[in-house]
Amino acid sequence: MKKWIKILLYSILGIVLILFGIIGYIYYQYEWKYDVNSEKHQYDVGYLSSENRDFASNFKRCNDYSPIGYYSHVDFNVFDKNKAQFKRFIQSNFNSNLYTDSGMLNLRFIINCNGEVGDMEVNQLNKDYQITKFNNNLVEEIIQLTVEKENWVISDNKSDNDKYMYLIFRLEDGKITEILP
């Protein structure tokens, strides 16, 4: 009889320990695993800071909300006409004969409700995806063509959200071979 009591007690103890282990694991997954220091990490991934901008120091956002398409440019009405027309505009106005750079020029920026571009971040990568430095005139020319107000939709409603946009210009020997996405 005592043998059965021992087996029963050890079984109950084992079940209790397994339950505590499962509850502890679930608690760890939801409460402690990703403990974030909010002072160190104040913003979301991809945040474009108004204090650290490469372009348009007098740019004003239309509101304080996160822009539409924060992680991708999901708003299809961001281009004034359409993306193909934008690409044609860039290709026809870009003077590729002056440059020999190859790689990718990544522009991340906000378009406010007035069609103005600002809070731009510029990243320059070589073909091996390593940070590089392109000819300053090439970068400036692409930026100036990109920020033309005629390229972007101007909202009729001033309370509209600003829009997040990114463009990647693939360069081969100074020529724009592709504009992504």
Domains of the chain by residue range = 1-35, 83-180
Residue by residue, DSSP assigns 5-38 as HHHHHHHHHHHHHHHHHHHHHHHIIIIITT---T
What is the model's pLDDT at position 104? Answer: 92
Average pLDDT over residues 48-60: 63
What is the model's pLDDT at position 58? Answer: 72
Beta pairing partners, 131: 125
Average pLDDT over residues 84-111: 84
pLDDT at 103 over 80: yes
What is the model's pLDDT at position 46? Answer: 58
What is the model's pLDDT at position 152? Answer: 76
